[in-house]
A and B are shown apart, each in its own frame.
Chain A
Amino acid sequence: MRASQIAVFVVLGALVLAFPLLVNAYWLTVAILALFYAIVAASWALLAGYAGQFSFGHMAFVSLGAYTSGLLVMSFGVPIPLGMAAGVVLCAVVGAAIGYTCLRMRGPYLALFTVAFSEVLRIVIVSENEVTGGSGGLEVTPLFHTRSDAPYYYVGLVLLGVSLGLMVWLERSRWGLFFRAIRENEDAAAAAGVRVLRFRVLVFAITSSFAGLAGGFFGHYIGILTPDIGSVDQMGLVVAMAVIGGAESLYAATVGALLCEALVEALRSYEQWRLVIFGALLLLTIRFARNGLLALAYQAVRQRGLRGLVSRKAGS
């Protein structure tokens, strides 16, 4: 790594760490939510972009993780980290069950099945209002009792770092290779000795547990949970974030989520039009940059860099 690259990383790292000191409370909240969405978008990218399982029920696991932790903490006095861990475990188990149930489903059938699961869970939460608080919401103990949201920012940063690190490690392991092989061709993967059933179930379990972790963090930050967190609207937002960034790259999906959350907030003065702008951006990405805008930008920078190098050499 060159000295200039190290310098860029050091400056970026310092900016990320000092961020709560540089912005007001509003933008700190936006950053914390962006970190939450980044975990969800990256884990969805692992599920859909890498393993090819286009689930539309990922936010249902966010909801499941959030409500599990919230209810355990509020009803049984379980410590928050333990509640969040329980949410992660439950999401892994339910994720594995969903993965097993829809083994034979692909493409639109899988998407429809997971939408149905998502809606069933949302309606159960709405209906069981004596337990979940229904549409009125469930008040959840916050993770910190501080005036500043800075501790949430750092916890979110650590959770994103650890989650992304684990996902990248997984993606680079033989399991990551098998996930991609299953995405490309399940019959060929099976003929090559990959236990397709096992790995489809595993990828659902793993990615659902990350969604549950993000959900637990979200609940204990926001302080009130409503069934809308698992809605199809929210799922659409996460898919858009991952696709705009690049759903076949964990880093691109992560940065896509961070930038999109910032963009949505930056355009708040445009009221409903911001969603139109966001939608248009998504349409353009799907039409002209199927690997995401970040991948496109990265390629453009590389090509320009190479051309610049070539012209400099030619000139010398």
Chain B
Amino acid sequence: MLIEARGLTRNFGGITAVDHLDLAVRQGELVGLIGPNGSGKTTTINLLTGHLAPASGHILVRDTPADGLSASAFAARKVGRTFQITQLFSRMSVLENMLVPGLARAHSTWAEATRAARRHLEFLGLSHLEKLQAKNLSGGQQKLLELGRALMLDPEILFLDEPFAGVNPFLRDEIIVLIQTLHAEGRSFVVVDHDIEAIQRLVQRLVVMARGAKIADGTVDEVRANQEVLLAYAGV
């Protein structure tokens, strides 16, 4: 397994945001993680990338325990992520945003990091903006830059938290193609979004959460036919 959660639980005050979650992602999988608002999707990402510590349960990265590791330690283990609300280094240039993860990698050099950054910016169509401050980019460009910054870690698995939120249909299609291209290169993805149509186009496997727990896990068709999922979404 590339990454695995075993009995993962996290509480906020009296609320259980993630409740004994078991989730495993294999090398090369493209998983969609969906669920109604407040179902614990973002908390799950935060737990699986070291941004939150679980109250109980275990996390394994490549079958090695990763309990208690910091977010930077997860990044060093090639676990990348983007955020629900885009988090950039606003007053730093686009290139500098890319260089931070590039230079944070062990044994990296400025020349290598700069080359990799420019290669990824080219891939994302942001090359011409490398000197611009990140805060001056459009919302869509900021999303792409955040994806590019995560790619600088050369991640084996990428958690994308709502990559299609607030994005126009053209850019949404562009992001889908980018994810498919990166997936074809062998990277694994867990994509959280409310855009069910985009998720269905993208993923092979769908995991559904409700009230902090996993209620369905299977192919898109299997999940569609799941009564518990319908109940969670529509209160049917």
Chain A residues with CB under 8 Å of chain B are: 174, 177-178, 180-181, 184-185, 187-197
Contacts and interface: CB of A to CB of B under 8 A. Distances in A.
Would you list the 5 A-B pairs with minimal beta carbon distance, nearest first? A193-B104, A193-B75, A190-B71, A192-B101, A184-B89
A184, A189, A194 — most chain B CB neighbours (10 Å): A184
A257 B212 CA distance: 55
A192 B96 contact: no
A191 B89 contact: no
Interface stretch (B16-24, B145-153, B188-196): B145-153
Interface of B: 49-51, 70-72, 75-76, 80-81, 83, 87-92, 96, 99-101, 103-105, 110, 149-150, 152-153
Contacts of A196: 70, 72
Contacts of A177: 96, 99-100, 103
17 contacts: A177-B99, A180-B92, A184-B90, A185-B88, A185-B89, A187-B51, A187-B71, A187-B83, A190-B71, A190-B75, A191-B150, A192-B75, A192-B149, A193-B72, A194-B104, A195-B72, A195-B104
A192 B153 contact: yes
A193 B96 contact: no
A184 B92 contact: yes
Of listed B80, B96, B100, residue having the most chain A CB within 10 A: B100
Nearest to A185: B87
A189 B72 CA distance: 8
Contacts of A191: 49, 51, 71, 75, 80-81, 83, 87, 150
Contacts, number: 77
A187 B89 contact: no
B128 to A, nearest CB: 22
B72 A181 contact: no
A192 B105 CA distance: 9
A192 B72 CA distance: 7
Q: A178, A180, A190, A194 — which one has the most chain B CB atoms within 10 A of its CB?
A: A190
A192 B70 contact: no
A248 to B, nearest CB: 9
A97 to B, nearest CB: 20
Nearest to A196: B72
A197 B75 CA distance: 15
Contacts of B81: 191
Contacts of B152: 192
A191 B103 CA distance: 13
Contacts of A190: 50-51, 70-72, 75
Nearest to B81: A191
B172 to A, nearest CB: 23
B114 to A, nearest CB: 12
Contacts of A195: 70, 72, 104
A190 B53 CA distance: 14
- Which of B72, B83, B88, B153 neighbours the largest number of chain A CB atoms within 10 Å of its CB? B72
A299 to B, nearest CB: 15
Contacts of B110: 174
A189 B101 CA distance: 8
With a 10 A CB-CB cut-off, give which of B80, B104, B149, B152 has the most chain A CB atoms.
B104
A199 to B, nearest CB: 10
